[in-house]
A and B are shown apart, each in its own frame.
Chain A
């Protein structure tokens, strides 16, 4: 039995990053990511991360740029960011994936300004969905910690070679103290082989990184990134299994389910709200309501086939989003789930709700209200495809 230690979520993740033996950590502080990079700086200052170079860069733009240089030179790299910092990196995110550099970043999910908000939602990483990064979302500090070596193993696979974000909710998970198993160094060494990229910047074998592509060759580079993402679909599953074999913990691969097999109402969500939903479902199941949960672990690559298979017997699908595409009035899960079901024989109504934006609390009653609305929609049909469920009308 592994030893449980009560630590802050950020510490659990920083510790997990440490045991992955990163060579270079460029870090720029931003709330609520700060505790992660502070803890790592302590590890580095105490010589606990080997010869790791910890660089206190002057911006997130340089953090991710230094990651690119370091990774191209053959280093395993780590950084963490959130929200405005991630948005500042936007241009570089495309560049990293296009150069097939398997960078790993923790994203402590936070809302986007304006209005300024330091609290949690998923708008920051969702806004980066087309940058070519793998995106996994964790539901609790233990999963966030465990996800760290998992994403290294996924993205460093030579058939994948794409960067990855391990996302977990800012404050709700970064700042919560919970009992977790701190990842053991020996198990991590067994699970995660050293980074051994085929192509590096090395004067004894000069190579050109980041060449210029004319219209005759550009699309093929983009398509090959897609092939890498496709390879990640399988790898995410096998890595989750391998992790389970070595550490004895499992959170699902691409997706996970809770009371999913016979569910008529399938709630779909990512991140920390999963815990709240599970508690609510325990209650509702006790009342005999056939409600289940589809947890999305992998948002990129998007597990279309796994989702189709998981929801095909439902009466209604209810994506719950901590993001919004303004101008479409729905969140990313809603859009993607609907897109996944089109052109199939699955004809199940999709009823989307948005909540928890800018850190607004999601109490169990809100989940129950959503379920009761879904019950009505099964009978009466859907009138509004997507809406906020926690708007304060008096402020509008």
Chain B
């Protein structure tokens, strides 16, 4: 095992500027070494564990794409049955496809059953590991390799699935939204999620240099633009009540966020693109109004 002091060690195969690597590194810093991590199939799993190497200095298990929450519930049950649960944290870290799409049944079941674990969705808004195909987390009008813009399409037809609300509907005692672009906020929320008893959920917005089409040095910048445009509201929800909202000091127009990424580039040239951008601005404005950003 790697002797670095990092619980998520360097030397993995992630892209320069990778959001998953940032998320894993800072989340483990926050949670500490007494933690068992479950990761579904995805970029994070693949680039962190090319046998015989592993970036994980905590116990880590990857089973399949759609079962991380169920695996985590088995880990939790085992630790309880064997008298080893104590303060050990169990954290599943999955991408948007594994969480929002293919894994939602198992995730819903695990939350309904009330296992004591934290599920973190690191949401980079498409199936990046397989080459940027659309997921339920892909935003409205974004192009992916399965929602290309063309003469008859402006890209992804639907807005993102509101996953935090779905998890909230399970009665989770702590649901939070955050972003890799705000490491302190992310660390605080993930740490808190692992300290609250019961199934807790943290949804981390995570700009992907490869999939979104921006320079790898701009990951944090893009993440901050998503928050500052109000397209990604960050909040704490405790026992169903919003107890904290990240306030935007200087609200930016969505164009600034959109034009910085290749996946929205078409909106600035196709007929009707301005109307689409207007609709995206309306989504942002709705967020700002709804959550008093």
| CB of B270 within 8 Å of the partner chain | no
| CB of A67 within 8 Å of the partner chain | yes
Determine if B59 and A210 form an interchain contact, defined as CB atoms under 8 angstroms apart. no
Minimum distance in angstroms from A11 CB to a CB of chain B: 23
User: Contact partner of B62 among A62, A66, A70, A210, CB < 8 A?
Assistant: A210
Within 8 A of A (CB), among B236-280: none
Contacts of A213 in B (CB 8 A): 51
Task: Tell me the bound Cα distance from A205 to B1 in angstroms.
Answer: 9
Contact with A along B144-188 (1 / 0, CB 8 A): 000000000000000000000000000000000000000000000
| CB of B30 within 8 Å of the partner chain | no
Determine if A70 and B77 form an interchain contact, defined as CB atoms under 8 angstroms apart. yes
| CB of A310 within 8 Å of the partner chain | no
Interface of B is mostly: mixed
Total A-B residue pairs with C-beta atoms closer than 8 Å?
175
Determine if A65 and B77 form an interchain contact, defined as CB atoms under 8 angstroms apart. no
Contacts of A69 in B (CB 8 A): 38, 61, 63, 70-78
Task: Tell me the bound Cα distance from A58 to B103 in angstroms.
Answer: 12
User: Contact partner of A203 among B35, B63, B108, B109, CB < 8 A?
Assistant: B35
Are A72 and B58 CB-contacts (below 8 A) given A53-B81, A211-B49? no
Determine if A66 and B74 form an interchain contact, defined as CB atoms under 8 angstroms apart. yes
| CB of B64 within 8 Å of the partner chain | yes
Task: Tell me the bound Cα distance from A180 to B275 in angstroms.
Answer: 75
Task: Tell me the bound Cα distance from A206 to B4 in angstroms.
Answer: 13
Contact with B along A201-224 (1 / 0, CB 8 A): 111011111111110010000000
Within 8 A of B (CB), among A143-179: none
Most A CB atoms within 10 A — which of B52, B72, B76? B76
Within 8 A of A (CB), among B123-144: none
Determine if B82 and A72 form an interchain contact, defined as CB atoms under 8 angstroms apart. no
Determine if B77 and A53 form an interchain contact, defined as CB atoms under 8 angstroms apart. yes
Minimum distance in angstroms from A74 CB to a CB of chain B: 6
Determine if A58 and B108 form an interchain contact, defined as CB atoms under 8 angstroms apart. yes
| CB of A95 within 8 Å of the partner chain | yes
A68-B71, A201-B60, A206-B60 are known contacts; what are 7 more A-B pairs with Cβ within 8 Å?
A23-B81, A26-B70, A62-B106, A75-B74, A77-B78, A92-B63, A203-B59
Q: Nearest 5 A-B pairs (CB), nearest first?
A: A69-B74, A58-B109, A66-B74, A65-B70, A75-B78
Q: List 10 A-B contacts (CB under 8 A).
A: A23-B82, A61-B67, A61-B70, A67-B74, A68-B74, A75-B74, A201-B60, A208-B49, A209-B60, A214-B50
